[in-house]
Amino acid sequence: MTAHPALADLYGDPPAGGRSMVIETSDGIGLRFAHWPAKGEARGAVLLAQGRTEYIEKAYEWIGALQARGFHVAAFDFRGQGLSQRLIPNRRAGYVQDFGLFQNDYDAAYQQFRDIVGEIPMVVLGHSMGGLATTRFVSRRQSELVGAILSPPMLGLALSPFWSWTAWIVSNVFTGLGFGARYVQGCDDRSGPERGFEDNVLTHDPVRFARHEKMLMDHPNLTLGGTTHAWLRAAYREMGSVASLPNEWLKIPALVASAEEDTVVSKEAIRAFADANSKAEYIHLAGSRHEPLMEVDAVQDVFWAGIDGFLDRTLPR
């Protein structure tokens, strides 16, 4: 662990009891990591892995809800985003060479959290890109976990077969020619909130969206813009690799959510994953865009009811 108070600050109004720090991955990348104690007697621990562009502060509402349910909680910023170490000079560009590097981040965060909470039962919760990383992490280390929650995981992109093939070819060519740090067509330095609520693909909730927007306005160093060709090529490689895992590889219970109005990740890929693994419990979230834990209360109520039931079955009180 490296003492670096300026980097390790938590912005806004964090849930009670939080501590933040910088940890180092096995390949020398500095990650921002934070953890919170359960309220009352602890039932277990939950490690959060968020999506592309996201940062610890965005998860405050989820963290507080899990604390109230009796869970120690930890979250971290993946490399290249939030206040973790950025990878290229343009800190707004979403860039990574290989999604396998995110497993180094996950391993470091998991070990730090284990050192803090000990051998208490642990669940991992991943959203979108973090859901893909969580799926890979579970495939590697499921014997150390009691369950997983996947909030519309990025197991595929919401593109037609033709446009998916085209995006894969173009990202391969541009990255292979040395232009991997360039934005893909349609992307630039702007973050989602900077593009405005009306065209957002994450949520129907203007209040939660505005909270996210204000956080980035107040703390622009948290902001991440669009994806680069290198990131997209790496994403396709990892999604293909995870899709090639054998049926029934999943040996621990998993709650797998799909959002009805998702235009970011593939609902068909999520359904296929759930169908291929009998340990996966599928939940369809009607009326939800891509980020159900940022959605209106009506969507959140359904998702939290599913999460609560899953946690009660996985970790009986």
pLDDT in tens, 210-267: 999 999 999 999 999 999 999 999 999 999 999 999 999 999 999 999 999 999 999 9
Is residue 55 over pLDDT 60?
yes
7 falls in which pLDDT band (50, 70, 90)?
Answer: very low
Q: What is the pLDDT of residue 4?
A: 42
Mean model confidence pLDDT for the chain: 95
- Fold type of domain 5-314: Rossmann fold (3.40.50)
What three-state secondary structure class fits 262?
coil
Q: What is the pLDDT of residue 3?
A: 39
Q: How far is CA 52 from CA 224, 241, 313, in A?
A: 8, 19, 30
In 116-265, DSSP assigns E strands to: 122-128, 147-153, 254-259
Q: What is the pLDDT of residue 313?
A: 96
The CA-based angle 49-222-126, given to 5 degrees, is 10
Contact present, 254 and 119 (Cβ < 8 Å): no
Each domain of the chain, given as residue ranges in start order, spans: 5-314
One-letter amino acid at 104 equals: N
Burial of 116 (0-12, 13-18, 19+ CB in 10 A): middle
Of 120, 38, 149, 137, the C-alpha closest to 78 is 137
Q: How far is CA 219 from CA 53, 75, 82, 214, 224, in A?
A: 14, 18, 10, 8, 12
Q: What is the pLDDT of residue 316?
A: 85
